[in-house]
Chain A
Amino acid sequence: MALIQKSSGGRPPLLLALPAFVAGGAMLIPLIYLLVRASNVEWSELVFLVWRPATALLLFNTLSLVVCVVALSTVIALPLALLVTRYRIPLPGLFSALFTLPLAIPGYVMAYALIGLSGYYGPLNAFFGLRLPRLEGLTGATLALGLYVFPYLFLNLRAALSSLDPALEESARSLGRSPLSVFCNVVLPHLKPAFLSGWLVIALYTVGDYGAIALMRFDVFSSAIYSQYAGAFEVYYAAWLSLMLMALAASFLVMEAWAVRGVRLSRSGTGSARPVPRRPLGRMLLPAIAFVALVLLTSLGVPFGVIIFWLARTPEAIDWTTIGHSTLQTLMIAGPVALIAMAAALPVALMSSRYPGRLSFLSERMVYLGYAVPALPFALAMAFFSLAVVPSLYQSLALLIATLALHFLALAIGPARARLLQLGPRVEEAARALGCGPLEAFSRVTLPQLLRALIAGGLLAFMVAAKELPITLLLSPTGTHTLAMSVFSRTNEGALYDAAPYAGLMILFSGLFIGLVLSNSGRSRQDR
């Protein structure tokens, strides 16, 4: 009994606590930077710039966008997750991959594709002479974001649905509940944590995204911060906006933590659950086909179609040496980022799942807050921190990689933490009882079962690091040209056709990684 108490809730070993706190504490750098910048202003100017209707409008726009993107993602992700886990469909693995693939599409490419459908250069104009008014504002931004962030929720729901013990639903049915009532009263409550963590990631992503929203000409906090910075208007105004944005993100984190508290969903019985039986689609066949076709067409068909259309019209010959060079540079940045994120995710995830307490809660939430700090102030903070403290690191590959790893750490932690909660401390305790030391028990029992989830998290970090823009632009060594930078500089100058090969390669590249993420997170259940 003493052993159990020790391994869940006691004081964590220093070997574990130190790296976890370092990772969480590093997130204080941008926060302190912003506070210093924001405080450097006179009261009258503050009132002139910050307390004006334009700021209230930014807050209202940002909140409406979060609500709309979360709603759209839910409407798309829930039916798809039910379809691949509960119904008899051909090739469920392939469909899971297809429904995750939109993650690989950079936001600004999705926005460009949606915009590119309309207008003078659009395929509709080329083939039919039809120049549609372009998508913009809240509708445009919601579509552009919702269509590629919904997989975050889909992956969460899919995992939750397939790990639900079918005995629960069967008992409810046998007690006279209708299928609909079982779904609403038994299944949905069990999906609560999956919904919450998916919504959290989507909400944090939405408040931090810059590219897609700016292209849709919708004014939110992140786009205002970017234009204040790029126009060198007022640094303290940008800092105030960033702090408000962080406060908003922090409130999401607190709300999620509060909502998920007290929910206990692990099975109490012994033995393992049967896999969930699949039902035939029956009457739902046609609506299901139509829905899947619509989702795939808009989330994958549109961006791929527009890129292929642009590719076919690239005026100059494609410069393969330059593209090869860009690909190599992208690999050299995103690869180490993934490895470092995995290494740092392990102690944080272990702390929060094995030694829950105020400190581990704090370090974990700090990591999420780091994900929520808009990329631009995050990068600025690291740039000025390095200039002031370690000038030799300024504009070095090492600092760029460390910053990206810190920023995306939260993504790498997710799968590992979920897996650790699923595994529970029992197996480890058994190993300890059989005479293993704590390190040996961890490396022989826990780590092998955790590896797949860690790799899945690392791959996710790789993918987002490869398509990341503001941090790379600001911190990369002068002369660096990643694929994302190449796409951005070309689209920004209206050279849409020239951007096509880079954009296509980037999606293809990330697509391969989606396959790896899925095979590393999905199969672990059948392995047991």
Chain B
Amino acid sequence: MKKTLRASFLALSSLALALPAMADDLVIYSGRGESFMAPIIKQFEEQSGIKTKARYGSTAELAALLREEGGKSPADVFIAQDAGALGSTTDLLEVLPDGVFAEQIDAYRDHAKNWVGTSARARTLAYSTERVKAEALPKSVYDINKPEWKGKVGFAPKNASFQAFITAMREKDGEEKARAFVKGLKDNGARTYSNNTALIQAIADGEIDAALVNNYYLPRFKGRDAKFPVEQAFFEKGDVGNLLFVSGVGIVKASDDKSDATKFVEYLLSPAAQQYFVSSVGEYPVVKGVIPNPALGAVANPQAVAPDVKQDALSDTDGTKKLLTEQGLL
């Protein structure tokens, strides 16, 4: 028995030594999921010859980690789900060269130069094709608190995108209206879920009839199963429920490899990467000249219906968290 022990110890320690400690890899902290980002990161490696290592987590978690690490951070690049997290991290991010903003569509541009939007997404209403008729859909996001929707709606209060939507509502329609809306959700028996995927799954499973989600989750389910019994739609033109917002990327000040990091940021804005975000992820491009994704159907043209909310208006994430905490949702 001792011999086996010794042999296995030797085998394990030699394995550990064999693990190469490559300090010059480009280290990416990704607040966006692995299944969305891994393919495009791999494509970047193949085209640029630059080796990368990615660490995945929730956007807020990685933002907190960057803050704790400060100047000792091993990260070179930070990819975030939403403008709010990037906005609250700007002091840790390097100012980007003007060149990366050149092709940006105006609506997605931010005053801060520390990060750049890499893809856009819209808030939509996902609904069951089995239990909801398309003509019975609510006109405004405020209508889902009406009695006919009692107990039939789902939302994800801990999700950063839902919080961005509430921040937009506070900015556009005022603090009181936003508080009344959140309280209304609770009073109307709306059910809470952990994230967008769980919401869409819950509609298919028959737990709820409709849910407030981001536009690019449903196409993933539809891609695997064309008969998947869920569809999505926008509210009426200009409704805050159709919020259009960006995910983005910044270069960490502590980075020891800023030239490779800049190449990565530029790659995310290149036509190839933009086409990937549109065709494979189901998002919207932030630069012109990208072929739209036919699978988006009813939600293919968000700019026509989006509310007038600027990206920089979404940075008061703390106020939104306080509101949700008061309502017992966090």
Which positions in A face B, CB cutoff 8 Å? Answer: 49, 53-54, 118-121, 131, 133-134, 214, 217, 227-233, 235, 315, 328, 331-332, 335-336, 339, 383-384, 387, 391, 394-395, 397, 451-452, 455, 473, 477-479, 489-490, 492-495, 497
Contact = CB atoms under 8 A, between A and B. Distances in A.
B292 interface: no
B205 A131 contact: yes
Given A233-B330, A336-B12, A387-B69, 18 more contacts: A134-B207, A217-B194, A227-B158, A229-B61, A231-B330, A232-B61, A233-B325, A332-B15, A339-B12, A387-B68, A394-B69, A455-B1, A455-B5, A478-B27, A478-B53, A478-B55, A479-B25, A494-B220
B53 A494 contact: no
B109 interface: no
A40 to B, nearest CB: 13
A346 to B, nearest CB: 13
A494 B9 CA distance: 38
A124 to B, nearest CB: 11
B33 to A, nearest CB: 5
A391 B69 CA distance: 10
Given A49-B325, A494-B221, A235 B74 contact: no
Interface stretch (B91-99, B196-204, B236-244, B269-277): B196-204
Contact of B197 (A230, A235, A473, A494): A494
B304 interface: no
Nearest to A227: B158
Contacts of A231: 58, 60-61, 158, 160, 321, 330
21 contacts: A120-B201, A120-B206, A121-B204, A131-B205, A133-B206, A217-B193, A227-B330, A229-B61, A230-B61, A232-B63, A232-B64, A233-B325, A328-B15, A332-B12, A332-B19, A387-B69, A391-B72, A478-B54, A493-B33, A493-B197, A494-B198
3 closest A-B pairs (Cβ-Cβ)? A479-B53, A232-B60, A494-B197
B102 interface: no
Interface in B217-275: 217, 220-221, 224, 228-229
B54 A120 contact: no
B47 interface: no
Contacts of B221: 494
Contact of B205 (A120, A230, A489): A120
Given A231-B58, A494-B220, A120 B204 contact: yes
B57 interface: yes
B328 interface: yes
Contacts of B57: 230, 473
Contacts of B206: 119-120, 131, 133
B136 interface: no
B165 to A, nearest CB: 15
A134 B205 CA distance: 8
Interface in B1-46: 1-2, 5, 8-9, 12-13, 15-16, 19, 25, 27, 33-35
B56 interface: yes
Nearest to A120: B204
A492 B159 CA distance: 13
Given A335-B8, A397-B19, A490-B35, A118 B60 contact: no
B255 to A, nearest CB: 13
A231 B31 CA distance: 11
Contacts of B9: 339
A489 B35 contact: yes
A231 B27 CA distance: 22
Contacts of A227: 158, 330
Interface of B: 1-2, 5, 8-9, 12-13, 15-16, 19, 25, 27, 33-35, 53-58, 60-61, 63-64, 68-69, 72, 74, 158, 160, 193-195, 197-198, 200-201, 204-207, 217, 220-221, 224, 228-229, 321, 325, 328, 330
Contact of A233 (B35, B56, B217, B321): B321
B35 to A, nearest CB: 5
A495 B197 CA distance: 9
A43 to B, nearest CB: 17
A392 to B, nearest CB: 10
A455 B5 CA distance: 9
B329 to A, nearest CB: 10
A336 B64 contact: no
A332 B14 CA distance: 10
Contacts of B200: 494
Contacts of A455: 1, 5
A411 B1 CA distance: 21
B33 A494 contact: no
Contact of B74 (A53, A131, A395, A489): A395
A391 B325 CA distance: 35
Contacts of B2: 451
Contact of A120 (B34, B60, B229): B229
B205 A119 contact: yes
Contact of A332 (B16, B60, B195, B328): B16
B1 to A, nearest CB: 6
Given A120-B229, A455-B1, A494-B220, A489 B207 contact: no
Given A328-B15, A332-B16, A451-B1, A479 B68 contact: no
A171 to B, nearest CB: 39
B61 to A, nearest CB: 5
Contacts of B321: 231, 233
A440 B34 CA distance: 55
Given A120-B205, A478-B53, A489-B34, A54 B328 contact: yes
Nearest to A447: B2
Given A455-B1, A489-B34, A230 B58 contact: yes
Contacts of A489: 33-35, 56
Contacts of B198: 494
A479 B69 CA distance: 18
A435 B160 CA distance: 71
B207 A133 contact: yes
A12 to B, nearest CB: 25
Contacts of B25: 479
Contact of A493 (B12, B19, B35, B193): B35
A358 B2 CA distance: 34
A479 B28 CA distance: 9
A479 B55 contact: yes
Contacts of A229: 61, 64
A397 B54 contact: no
A54 B12 CA distance: 47
B72 A387 contact: yes
